Structure 1
Amino acid sequence: MTQPLNRRLFLTSALALAASPLLGVTAAQASGFVEYTPGLIDEALAEGRTVFVDYSATWCGTCRRQERVVNNLRASNPAYDQAMTFVRVDWDTYRTHEVAVRRSIPRRSTLLVLKGNQELGRIVAGTSATEIRLLMDKGL
């Protein structure tokens, strides 16, 4: 049986979501990703961290599906957040930037796991939870 709609909770949630851009909270931050800025990935790698990179666009349906899968996997296994830094690269802003060109990123909806100077794995346009979990496991 479904619960009746709690109007106060609904209105509070809707207001918080609508106000988040005004408070400087991006969608990437809300979902636990760090928004890419030039040099961020290289700095993290130089510090010895493993980096999960999501090249995505806000209008991309495949990207949204990948994000849901990644977030579900992260919620079910906290080791991912302990082992990796999650970075979102906005495709519309950076598709011709060195962050995409240097790594030969063919399109949005590309996921990478990087450590040191190595690419541990990549998925292009894949949305399978099993495939994405196997990619994320490479970062553990």
Structure 2
Amino acid sequence: MKRRAFIFSAAAFSAASVMGGAAFAAADYTPGLVDQELAAGKTVFLDFKASWCTTCAAQERVMDRLKAANPDYEKSVSFIAVDWDKYGRSELAKRLKIPRRSTLVALKGDAELGRIVAGTREADIKALMDTALHAALA
């Protein structure tokens, strides 16, 4: 009986962990959304990713940890996930000269604040997210 209780508890914890991760989901990109957010004076953090990309998944895990540690990221910065398979050749990707999936870009107004291409180091991603946060709070 104890084994059953353990398995049930582990399953419930796993489900809660998955559901908890959903709290940090970025808005899904649609054409015009980035320009709309920027025009409203928001700082935008773009995540060009593909569902099958392991580098993208690693970046997302890092960003989720950082967002969990500092709720100000989610409160102040507009995170937008751009599906590479659908929008990799879009006007937005061309305008920003996005070279590939697993590219993270921070924007404010007409300025690019920074970018990371295929990087997964927590220190680098935190630095870019901090740059976006400071711009949003300025």
1:115 shift after superposition? 0.4
After superposition, give the CA deviation of every residue in 1:9-68 in whole Å (9 maximum; x if it has no partner).
627966xx7xx9xxxxxxx96542000000001100000000110000000000000000
Higher helix share: 2
Percent of residue pairs bearing the same amino acid type:
50
User: Which ranges of structure 1 fall in alignment gaps of 5 or more residues?
Assistant: 21-27
Q: How many residues align?
A: 126
Q: Structure 2: where are the runs of 5+ without partners? A: 134-138
User: Kindly tell me: are residues 30 and 82 of structure 1, through their superposed partners in 2, closer, same or farther at Cα, counting changes over 3 Å?
Assistant: closer
TM-score by length of 1: 0.82
Equivalent of residue 105 in structure 1, options 81, 98, 104: 98
- SS of the counterpart of 2:6? coil
After the TM superposition, which residues 87-126 of structure 1 pair with which residues of structure 2 at under 5 Å, given as runs? Answer: 87-126=80-119
Deviations 1:93-137 (A, max 9, x none): 001111111100000000010000110000000000000000001
Moved over 3 A (4+): 11-14, 28-31
Superposed, 1:1-140 pairs within 5 Å as: 5-7=6-8, 10=11, 31-140=24-133
CA distance in 2, matches of 1:46, 1:82: 18
Q: Is the 8 A contact 1:29 1:35 kept in 2?
A: no
SS across alignment from 1:138 = helix
Determine the C-alpha separation between the residues in 2 that align with 1:79 and 1:67.
Answer: 17
